[in-house]
Structure 1
Amino acid sequence: MARVLNFLIIILELIAFKKAFKWHGLKKNFIYYTQISNLLTLVSSILLVIFGGKEPVEVLRFISVCMLIMTFFVTACILVPMSGMLKELLFSGSGLFHHLLIPIISTFSYMLIEKRVSLKWMWLPATVTLAYGLVMLYFNYTKRLEGPYPFFLIRSNGVKMTVVWMTCLLLVVSAISFAVGYHSPKKSDLKFIFVHGLSGWGSYDTQYEYFPYWGTSHGDIIRYLNEKGYESYAASVAPKGSAWDRACELYAQLTGTRVDYGKAHSEKAGHERFGTDYSKQPLLNNFADSRFVLIGHSFGGATVRLFSELIRNGSQEEIAATDPDDLSDFFKGGGGDGLYAVVTLAAPTNGTTAYDLYEDESFDVSEIYVPEEYIEKSKRMSGVSTPVYDGRQLWDYAAFDMHIDNALAMNETITTFDDVYYFAYPCVSTKVGENGLLEPDPEITEGLFIKGSTYMSRYTGTTAGGFIVDESWQPNDGLVNTVSAGAPIGAPSAEYKEGQTINPGVWNLMPATTGDHMSLQGGLTKRVNVKPFYLKLVKMITRLFLPV
């Protein structure tokens, strides 16, 4: 969305400058603060559209936005009252664009959508404004220029009045800089790493700017938490890849290295060993010295849990198959001392019957009634959950890992560490219907989940590996069984109660959130404001890190 709005700003700037050049000429244009601030806006918007929200670009955006607001303030509060030219300055010609429309759109984009800069840059807009003012005063004093604004007429205004003018203007631009740039300072050194689920996306993906995975309906959660002082990042891992491949990609993004899927794994799976190189665009700049929290939604839960195992204990299979000089540090083990907490959200930690029920010959889905409208809507899910096979082994996809037998097998390889805090948040969107049977609640369940959720709420059976699925597995969120989204079976766990002591090395089973599988993203048509949920979550973990 930021790119869209800044592209619009570019178009408006080009229209405005064409009008301004026609009226003032090229050279005279750039003695005006208005034109300088809009030129900075044009340049910064072009850079943002091309390069995205890099810090240098955001610094330039911050300066230009503050100067644009200053332009509007001076025009509306000083020049219009002094000249009486309301229409000419704000509602016609280049003034309509440079004094009104572009400041409004640019401020809206920066304040509500774009990543805001660090507090350390808040002095820049006032400094640039002061530099401009001093140059204009010098030109006025030496008679090289008359104006272009009445407060620069130092010879007629006198030194005392000029100082008053300049002081007031600097105070105004400083207040603007504070209002635009202020956000909560960092609450702690903890870094919160968010990992999306099946068919999801993160900050490396262009679509995140238009439609954030974290906060789909009420705005980007990552930006929101950073604004609140909780340093947060959104990783981008393979949408339909296995937990192993996604864990390897997460490691490369966090450390700023090239993705290494492992010699043994890549040969067995039938794909290239190496992937994207993140050395020029790491998710974190200092991962080795960071204390961090891993937060995984849906299949992101399996991803972060396997990541924690590999970074701490490594992979004996990769060690045995790879020359020590060629072995990724990820597979050596002994790392991950900075891992502070693991959080899973609606995660198929113990698998999901959404896959297994179709393979159980004793369960006939044709006997279960589902309204036709939901059958049609469910077809949209086929492209989301079905992998696009590219020649690799079938066990190297998320769909394989989410079968109950396979998820349980993975759990046996993942350690619950004594010094790490664990939290599992299940969701539930089923209820007992008028017929006395469990069914999805259409008020809180997306239509595309209704068919699958109906089948899951009726299914009991036995997996190919002999695991018995009883009635406790029937409540679900549309994609994941509520009971499965708790602690890994066999791992130490305890039901969380508000106000109790939270200990590391134990899975805290949090109360089930009423909502479907997308509810902790923010929902799609069932819109949910998840900002309070995530703010409460990061505050709770931060209090553990910095106990009062």
Structure 2
Amino acid sequence: MFRIAHALLALLALCTCVPAPAAAAADRNNDPVILVHGFLGFGPDTFQHSGFNYWGGYGDIASHMQVYRGPHTVFAAVVGPVSSNWDRAADLYAQIKGGCVDYGAAHVRKYGLPGQQQKPAGKCWAADPGNNPENYPLALYPAWDAGHPLHFIGHSQGGTTIRALVELLEHGSPDDEGGHTLFKGGKLGWVRSVTTISTPHNGTTFADAVLNVAPPLQTPLLQWATELLRHRWANWEMSPDGARAFNAWARTSPHIYYYSVGTMATEAGSWCCNGTDRAIAPIQTVANQYPRRDMIPAFKGMAGEWIVPSALQHGMGGYTQQAPGRVRIDREWFANDGVVNTTSMRAPSGHPVRDYDGKPVKGTWNYLGTYRGYDHFDILNWPNPGPSANPVYERISDIIFGL
């Protein structure tokens, strides 16, 4: 009898200490995922005859995520390729929820490009396929609200576009934008997670390096045009100075899980044997960064200590500046993926950030680490000798669907 009682007590203890499988499953979710492309990006139908995708090259990252431990729902959105983050966020909202794009009355008056319309004709998506007399493309997820939240994954500028969308969803606009629901704010809980990949949260020195190649371009006319385009298109917000202003506006929400991924395709200089392209940089110094041999060729000339070819103009791996009133650029910025400085990918400057330790924390950036050897397009699986990005998206899937 004593042995039976002892066994029953042991069984009771086991039942109270080991969580039941059903309880563990209840913590998981299968919310849809929205992929948001970067600057000069394109949608899944842009090159459909060639089979080339922004997300995946000749493969398809969205399809891979759908079946990996799925099924899951994953959409690839398309937004303005060179638009400001605000305008891209407006595109994204209409495309997901349904309805016509509205860029906001006050915003267009202050920051609109010449001739830009607040409500461009025909830029609409149908929320109800049964009521679509204009034959608009169907909205991605019309049910989107606090009861039906979404995961967002953005590459490059896609990450800052998502941050602009979150700011508008939760806080709206302080100005009179004409009554569109996006600008009213108050939409808490609509976003479960945000993951950014190779995103220039604090800008990229790529543009500075390019402009320095041709000093004659730095004329009063160019300076006037740069001032005119502030807040109007993507180039300003992706510069370090523009990103600083953007980061002061686009807050990190305490209601959302944030993750970030860094990429790096340069190496510190060495006299030999560091995997860099010696044809681009035969002479190297340990203080600077140089492009790896497997970096996408189009960006090798900008990624190293010097722009190749140029008359001794510094590239991203050696560019610094300390002008008063501007964001200070030092050697911490040298490492890059050919387009974006790796240090900029971690989190917006001044926002909370931590290294991810397996425990999700809301309201702070959980950094998933730097993926060395991945350039700006390796991480999209574009054709190149670099590594496959599939394990990165599988890891992200495991994290976000486990929230």
Into which bin does the TM-score normalised by the smaller protein fall? 0.7 to 0.9
- Alignment length (residue pairs): 322
Structure 2 vs 1, CA of residues 394 and 313 (structure 1 numbering), >3 Å: closer, same or farther?
closer
Note if contact 1:404-1:463 (Cα within 8 Å) is conserved in structure 2. no
Distance 1:527 1:472 in 2: 24
Note if contact 2:198-2:342 (Cα within 8 Å) is conserved in structure 1. yes
In the alignment, which residue of structure 1 is the partner of 2:62?
222
1:273 maps to 2:115? no
Distance 1:495 1:459 in 2: 27
Q: Deviations over 1:112-152 (max 9, x none)?
A: xxxxxxxxxxxxxxxxxxxxxxxxxxxxxxxxxxxxxxxxx
Q: Deviations over 1:287-345 (max 9, x none)?
A: 1342211111001111000110001110112x3x53xxxx1100000115221111110
The one-letter code matched in structure 2 to 1:441 is P
Of residues 439, 449, 456 in structure 1, which corresponds to 2:299? 449
Mapping for residues 107-506 of structure 1, pairs under 5 Å? 188-203=29-44, 205-207=46-48, 210-217=51-58, 219-227=59-67, 228-268=70-110, 269=112, 270=114, 271-275=116-120, 276-279=123-126, 280=136, 281-288=138-145, 289-317=147-175, 319=176, 321-322=177-178, 327-358=179-210, 393=229, 395-433=231-269, 434=271, 435-437=284-286, 438-454=288-304, 455-462=315-322, 465-497=325-357, 499=358, 501-506=359-364
In the alignment, which residue of structure 1 is the partner of 2:23?
none
The one-letter code matched in structure 2 to 1:509 is Y
Distance 1:506 1:526 in 2: 34
1:535 maps to 2:394? yes
The one-letter code matched in structure 1 to 2:102 is D
Distance 2:98 2:152 in 1: 17
Q: Deviations over 1:140-180 (max 9, x none)?
A: xxxxxxxxxxxxxxxxxxxxxxxxxxxxxxxxxxxxxxxxx
Per the TM alignment, residue 493 of structure 1 is displaced from its structure 2 partner at its CA by 0.7
The one-letter code matched in structure 2 to 1:448 is A
Distance 1:347 1:282 in 2: 26
Note if contact 1:308-1:336 (Cα within 8 Å) is conserved in structure 2. no
Distance 1:412 1:296 in 2: 20
Distance 2:323 2:182 in 1: 33
SS in 2 for 1:210: coil
Mapping for residues 26-175 of structure 1, pairs under 5 Å? none
The one-letter code matched in structure 1 to 2:235 is A
Q: Deviations over 1:426-447 (max 9, x none)?
A: 1111112323343333323111
Note if contact 2:229-2:236 (Cα within 8 Å) is conserved in structure 1. no
The one-letter code matched in structure 2 to 1:451 is G
After TM superposition, the score normalised by the length of structure 1 is: 0.56
Distance 1:261 1:236 in 2: 16
The one-letter code matched in structure 2 to 1:468 is R
In the alignment, which residue of structure 1 is the partner of 2:218?
none
The one-letter code matched in structure 2 to 1:283 is L
Per the TM alignment, residue 450 of structure 1 is displaced from its structure 2 partner at its CA by 0.7
Distance 1:398 1:350 in 2: 13
Percentage of pairs with the same residue: 31
Structure 2 vs 1, CA of residues 446 and 477 (structure 1 numbering), >3 Å: closer, same or farther?
same
Distance 2:101 2:235 in 1: 22
Q: Compare the two structures and name the one with the higher helix fraction.
A: 1
Question: Which structure 1 segments of 5+ residues have no match?
Answer: 1-186, 367-388
Distance 2:85 2:49 in 1: 21
Distance 1:495 1:365 in 2: 39
SS in 1 for 2:34: strand
SS in 2 for 1:293: strand
Question: Which structure 2 segments of 5+ residues have no match?
Answer: 1-27, 127-135, 216-224, 272-283, 305-314
In the alignment, which residue of structure 2 is the partner of 1:142?
none
SS in 2 for 1:469: coil
Distance 2:324 2:160 in 1: 21
In the alignment, which residue of structure 1 is the partner of 2:129?
none
Cα RMSD for the two superposed structures? 2.2
Per the TM alignment, residue 206 of structure 1 is displaced from its structure 2 partner at its CA by 4.8
Q: Which has the higher contact order (CA 8 A, sep 6+)?
A: 2
1:509 maps to 2:378? no
Note if contact 1:195-1:202 (Cα within 8 Å) is conserved in structure 2. no
